[in-house]
């Protein structure tokens, strides 16, 4: 639901709550009522988290979690989620160009297209892949790469 936007998320929340309420009405059990309440609450909380971050960058706390998850997935090394090369976390220095294997965090759905700054929309990438992807979606990036192969 994170990629649906505010209106789409609200519609999905309503559908989930309606299904759960219908379940309650048809079975007459308290379970259905509890499911409706939980579905609405969970969907609302998820929507609030991503909606608050729409079009924004990642928080420092989220950045650390994203890098930690990448380390866990890759046996203690940071690797680009797109090309697989080892990447290194370095501080940026104003006026100094970064290296191709600098670790960066990319928005899977670009901010310019409504992507949000939450962990669900994040990938650790090398600088080269992040620059190449730019404001493309992953599908557009893949299509462009296939043209070269």
Give burial (CB, 10 Å; 0-12/13-18/19+) of 60: exposed
C-alpha 119/C-alpha 115 separation (Å) is: 11
| Structure tokens given for 15 | 């559908």
Q: Kindly provide the residue ranges of all beta strands, DSSP E only, lying in the chain, ordered along the sequence.
A: 103-107, 122-126
Average predicted confidence (pLDDT) for the chain: 78
Confidence (pTM): 0.63
pLDDT digits (tens, 9 = 90+) for 105-121: 999 999 999 898 989 99
pLDDT digits (tens, 9 = 90+) for 33-88: 444 454 444 444 454 455 566 778 899 999 999 999 999 999 999 999 999 999 99
Residue with tokens 């048809």: 26
């Amino acid at each position: 639901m994170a990629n649906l936007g505010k209106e789409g998320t609200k519609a999905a929340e309503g559908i989930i709550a309606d299904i759960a309420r219908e379940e309650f009405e048809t079975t007459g059990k308290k379970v259905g009522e509890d499911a409706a309440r939980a579905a609405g609450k969970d969907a609302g909380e998820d929507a609030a988290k991503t909606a608050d971050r729409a079009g924004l960058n990642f928080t420092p706390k989220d950045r650390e979690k994203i890098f930690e998850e990448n380390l866990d997935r890759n046996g203690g090394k940071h690797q680009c989620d797109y090309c697989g090369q080892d990447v290194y976390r370095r501080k940026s220095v104003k006026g100094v160009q970064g290296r191709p294997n600098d670790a960066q965090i990319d928005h899977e759905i670009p901010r310019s297209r409504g992507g949000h700054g939450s962990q669900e929309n994040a990938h650790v990438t090398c600088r080269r892949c992040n620059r190449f992807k730019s404001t493309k979606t992953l599908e557009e990036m893949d299509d462009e790469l296939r043209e070269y192969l």
